[in-house]
Amino acid sequence: MNDHTTTVSASVIEKIRQAVGPQGVLTAAADLDPYVVDWRGVYRGTTAAVVRPANTAEVAAVMKICAETCTPVVPQGGNTGMCGASIPSAGGGEIVLALARMNRVLEVDPLNNTLTAEAGCVLAAIQQAAADADRLFPLSLGAEGSCQIGGNLSTNAGGINVLRYGNTRDLVLGLEVVLPDGRIWKGLRGLRKDNTGYDLKHLFIGAEGTLGIITAATLKLFPRPAANATAWMAVRDPEAALQLLALMRRHCNDRITAFELISRHSLELVWQHIPGTRDPIGEPHPWYVLTELADAGDESALRADLERALETALNKELVVDAVIAENHTQAQALWHLRESIPEGVRQAPAMVYRHDIAVAVGRIPEFIREAQAALEARFPDVQLICFGHLGDGNLHYNAYLPDRLRSDAAARDAHDVTETVYDIVQQYGGSFSAEHGIGLSKVAELARYKSPVELDLMRTVKHALDPQGLLNPGKVL
């Protein structure tokens, strides 16, 4: 990581203050603190100023000042990321550019099924604006009450509905971006077909703020489902879960919006650390599946289809036990269990090594078996905290080591567990970062597992757009 140890000068901060107004610059230590530490408490940096522009013109003015003075900038959305991409370095030589004040929904077009919003809009607010227009914005993840759409775009967030609707990248039609030199690319187009050259928006989606600062986006909307049905099922192993997915696809087609695989160890941390949570099924089982169907038709008919699929699965012994949510409140309670797993893991005192991986869907059971065997051979006390989106091959394959404490710096810095998992991911032709990005935490892995050609192409793009290396230095590359 580039550690810019030269503190940002008072004159630069004053120029920025003149550009955005006094309310747009924070310099008091107490005000800065929430912006320099990630939500897990793993990464902490320092900065002389947090800049909070109110509009795109102010972002552009700030970037022009920073380009002229060679001042590095760390763009920040809701700061809910898992890899430290939005945290400044320890040297204090960067400013943090936080976009929370740019939080307007600019337009909702129900006929074109689009919504245009500023980058600081909280994801839940965008979901609600779509719902108010009787539409659906399907991106959904545990942090949706605090994460911002600019951060979702910059990390190409996944979430629970990728199976039906795709990643964030698939939900974007246009972007507005401020470039490192302060120029503005106005690409807010609501077109589904535009073959006029390079599709530039895809350079910035998933780039983690290293190529430009996303200030607004035009997003795809979908018809709002009139019916939902949710089930929690116990299965004997991941192979049964995979067969269950195939069976449900035959019975329910593309009405499956989510299909989550969850190990019991994941849930035990939730029940231990998250008040008000309980086991939906009385008897313990090693693995569970949480699935949801959505349709434009009648809810009773959708539930009947789910019941028929579940009955077939029980007869084939793919499912051991199950509950179907009777109403929206019960469905929310089931999803609360799934979405509380990261918080349960965060509160555990022992060390949890997190791995956001993807392999081909059909190879997931084989991967889980091989990776678990390799981990248990090296770390006999390891517990598997495995959960994630079986339908698209993305698992949060975490290893919990009770004999290593989170407070132990040597345990935090150890790479033995991670390398064991990632080497197997590589053998399976998978990805070591399916939806969380690279940030700070996976820079070494990117260098280790990406080919020289890929890395060279990435550096070429970075240098072309940000030749001074001002945007989010030390992240990704």
Among candidate residues 205, 217, 213, the one with its CA nearest the CA of residue 181: 213
Please compute the mean of the pLDDT values over residues 317-334 and round it to a whole number.
Answer: 96
Strand 95-98, strand 105-109: pairing: unpaired
**How much is the pTM?**
0.91
* C-alpha torsion sign, points 246, 249, 250, 251: positive
Please compute the mean of the pLDDT values over residues 62-87 and round it to a whole number.
Answer: 96
Contact 253, 294 (CB under 8 A): no
Between 375 and 39, where is the model more confident?
Answer: 375
pLDDT in tens, 17-37: 999 999 999 999 999 999 999
Confidence class for position 7, pLDDT limits 50, 70, 90: confident
What would the CATH number be for the domain defined by 349-436? Answer: 3.30.70.2740
Which of the four CATH numbers 3.30.450.20, 3.40.50.150, 3.30.465.10, 3.40.50.1980 does domain 105-223 have?
3.30.465.10
The rounded distance, in Å, linking the Cα atoms of 423 and 149 is 33
pLDDT in tens, 130-166: 999 999 999 998 889 999 999 999 999 998 899 899 9
Alpha carbon distances (Å) from 281 to 159, 240, 303? 25, 18, 19
- The long-range contacts involving 123-129, CB below 8 angstroms and separated by at least 24 positions, are 123/147, 123/148, 123/149, 123/152, 126/219, 129/105
Task: Provide the pLDDT for residue 350.
Answer: 87
Task: Provide the pLDDT for residue 1.
Answer: 40
Mean pLDDT, the chain, whole residue set: 94
Residue type (1 letter), 377: A
Tokens of 69: 């003075």
Residue with tokens 């609360």: 336
List Cβ neighbours of 328 (8 Å cut-off, separation of 6 or more): 228
The rounded distance, in Å, linking the Cα atoms of 138 and 224 is 9
pLDDT in tens, 116-130: 999 999 999 999 999
Confidence class for position 410, pLDDT limits 50, 70, 90: confident
Confidence class for position 349, pLDDT limits 50, 70, 90: confident
Tokens of 468: 């001074």
Between 3 and 387, where is the model more confident?
Answer: 387
Confidence class for position 176, pLDDT limits 50, 70, 90: very high
Strand 227-235, strand 321-324: pairing: antiparallel
| Displacement of CA 241 from its chain's centroid (Å) | 24
Percentage of the chain beyond pLDDT 70 is 99
Task: Provide the pLDDT for residue 42.
Answer: 85
**CA angle 164–167–170, rounded 5-degree value:** 90
Lowest mean pLDDT, pick from 6-10, 164-168, 235-239, 298-302: 6-10
Residue 167 has pLDDT above 80, yes or no: yes
* Domain ranges, ordered by start, for the chain: 105-223, 227-342, 349-436
Please name the CATH architecture into which domain 227-342 falls: 2-Layer Sandwich (3.30)
The order of strands in the sheet holding 73-76 is 25-26, 50-51, 95-98, 73-76
Among candidate residues 250, 252, 213, 188, the one with its CA nearest the CA of residue 76: 213
The rounded distance, in Å, linking the Cα atoms of 58 and 77 is 16
Tokens of 94: 């960067």
The rounded distance, in Å, linking the Cα atoms of 54 and 24 is 7
Residue 222 has pLDDT above 70, yes or no: yes
Task: Provide the pLDDT for residue 476.
Answer: 95
Task: Provide the pLDDT for residue 6.
Answer: 66
φ and ψ at residue 277, rounded to 5 degrees: -100, 150
Would 227-342 and 349-436 be classified into the same CATH topology?
yes
The rounded distance, in Å, linking the Cα atoms of 261 and 381 is 22
List Cβ neighbours of 92 (8 Å cut-off, separation of 6 or more): 4, 5, 7, 8, 45, 46, 47, 48
Lowest mean pLDDT, pick from 194-198, 264-268, 313-317, 349-353: 349-353
Task: Provide the pLDDT for residue 458.
Answer: 97
Task: Provide the pLDDT for residue 345.
Answer: 87
Greatest mean pLDDT among 5-14, 336-345, 357-366: 357-366
pLDDT in tens, 415-470: 899 999 999 999 999 999 999 999 999 999 999 999 999 999 999 999 999 999 99
Contact 180, 465 (CB under 8 A): yes
Tokens of 411: 């345990």
Task: Provide the pLDDT for residue 41.
Answer: 83
Residue 4 has pLDDT above 50, yes or no: no
